[in-house]
Amino acid sequence: MAATLETRLLPIVSGQQQPGTAAVTRSVPLFGLHAEALAAVNARLGGPRFRAGQLEQALYRQWAVSLDEMTALPKPFREQLHAAGYTVGLPEITETFRSTDGTERYLIAGLDGQTVETVWMPGGDGREEGREDDEGSGSADAPPAAGAPGDTRGRNAPQRRATICVSSQIGCAVNCQFCLTAKMGIVRNLTPGEIAGQVVAVLKRQGVHLGRDRINLVFMGMGEPFLNYDAWVGAFRLLTGPIGLQPSRMTVSTSGIVPGILRFAEEPVRPKLAISLNASNDAVREAIMPVTRKWDIAAILEAVRAVPLRPREKITFEYVLLGGVNDHPHHADELVRLVRTAGFPSYVNLIVWNPGPGTSFAEPAQAEVDAFQNRLISRGITAYIRRPRGRDIYAACGQLKRTTR
């Protein structure tokens, strides 16, 4: 199954170009390039070495949208960049949908004009208890450079908290039966710049001040991050490096791509991990997540055990409750056994299935959701119910399909 999935992924844009190594014949986005690549661009244009650092600052701390906005760079150098075909290439929000609960869903245009979805959830990601499983220091994100858009020095505005849900692919090949994104199939992988650029585009729109505000990221939007691993991890490094967000406030979710989990386990710096489990046994999981045929629950848990957890860190099990499918009391009991024997600290996030056109599941009643949670809790399993966010604008979990209304 995985071979099928992987061969179905057509990386139309699988990574960034290699500036500095060949003549630039078409527009090359700078956003998404790491320090070494920016140094290569600078060297190619004959700039002094410090110029590459200025370029990095302009891209990732000042969030310039055009070369003209990079006023810290001398005009002749900006003209050289332009003449050589370089553009900023920061993804652009083309449409915004605002929910009654304050959630915003964006269509964000990538390099070829194809759109991807990103969601801004003020106040958090909808976990009912409002708890954050954050083993980090609790401080705000790294302060921006003086004069940058995020520079808050001298301002006394209250701290804002929000979660941004980020996409890693346009569409998805995993084909979870309860998910609207799956209906698109896989269109293409996103590049590192397109993934990190979603975050910067939203931070900019929201006027986020990184020295003050608490921003969580969840890689739980369109696509399976671990089927676009290189680009996803490249984006993660940009976000935690020059952009200045904290890895401990980020979570990546996978449907259980075992090779991806094993690579993740080797990362020296990484976000938290969530497993999109959604079933308490392989038979149910295979019916709703065909990827289970390739990697069953036991294989996924074994891979997760290879991830060295930080003190107090827990793995999240995401569990979408589908009425009559996986929400019976015996499923809760089976889930309890599974979590107890997993061999690593964890908790369960229960997500009530969000309806959408073309999906034929039933939404469980609130009483059944509460009963499921209580059954877990009474047996010693930490379980939360995630409040759906932005349902009225198709922004909730499993609803991202580039809906334009």
Among 109, 222, 301, 385, binds ligand SF4 (CB under 6 A): 222
Q: Which of 165, 172, 179, 397 is catalytic?
A: 397
CA distance 302 to 82: 50
- Residue 255 contacts ligand SF4 per CB under 6 A: yes
Contact (Cβ atoms closer than 8 angstroms) between residue 57 and residue 64: no
Footprint on residues 267-326 left by ligand SF4 (CB under 6 A): none
Binding mask 346-385 for ligand SF4 (x = CB under 6 A): ----------------------------------------
Among 88, 179, 196, 369, binds ligand SF4 (CB under 6 A): 179
- Residue 176 contacts ligand SF4 per CB under 6 A: yes
Which part of the chain contacts ligand SF4 (CB under 6 A), choosing from 198-206, 218-226, 306-314, 378-386?
218-226
Least distance in angstroms from the C-beta of 350 to ligand SF4: 15
Which part of the chain contacts ligand SF4 (CB under 6 A), choosing from 7-15, 30-38, 179-187, 346-354?
179-187
68 backbone dihedrals φ, ψ, rounded to 5°: -60, -30
Decide if 318 is catalytic: no
Pairing of strands 315-321, 346-352: parallel
- Residue 224 contacts ligand SF4 per CB under 6 A: yes
CA distance 71 to 155: 23
- Residue 395 contacts ligand SF4 per CB under 6 A: no
DSSP 393: G
Decide if 397 is catalytic: yes
52 backbone dihedrals φ, ψ, rounded to 5°: -65, -40
- Residue 182 contacts ligand SF4 per CB under 6 A: yes
List 346's β-bridge partners, or say none: 315
CA distance 181 to 299: 25
Q: Which of 104, 117, 194, 224 is catalytic?
A: 117
**Residue placing its CB nearer to ligand SF4 in the complex, 359 or 382:** 359
Contact (Cβ atoms closer than 8 angstroms) between residue 391 and residue 102: no
Q: Which helix (H) or strand (E) holds 5?
A: helix 2-8
Which residues, other chains included, contact 200 with Cβ-Cβ below 8 Å and sequence gap of 6+? 31, 60, 63, 90, 91, 243
**Residue placing its CB nearer to ligand SF4 in the complex, 59 or 165:** 165
Could you give the 3-state DSSP secondary structure of residue 350? strand
Contacts with ligand SF4, residue ranges (CB under 6 A): 172, 174-176, 179, 181-182, 222-224, 255, 398
What are the residue numbers of the active site?
117, 397
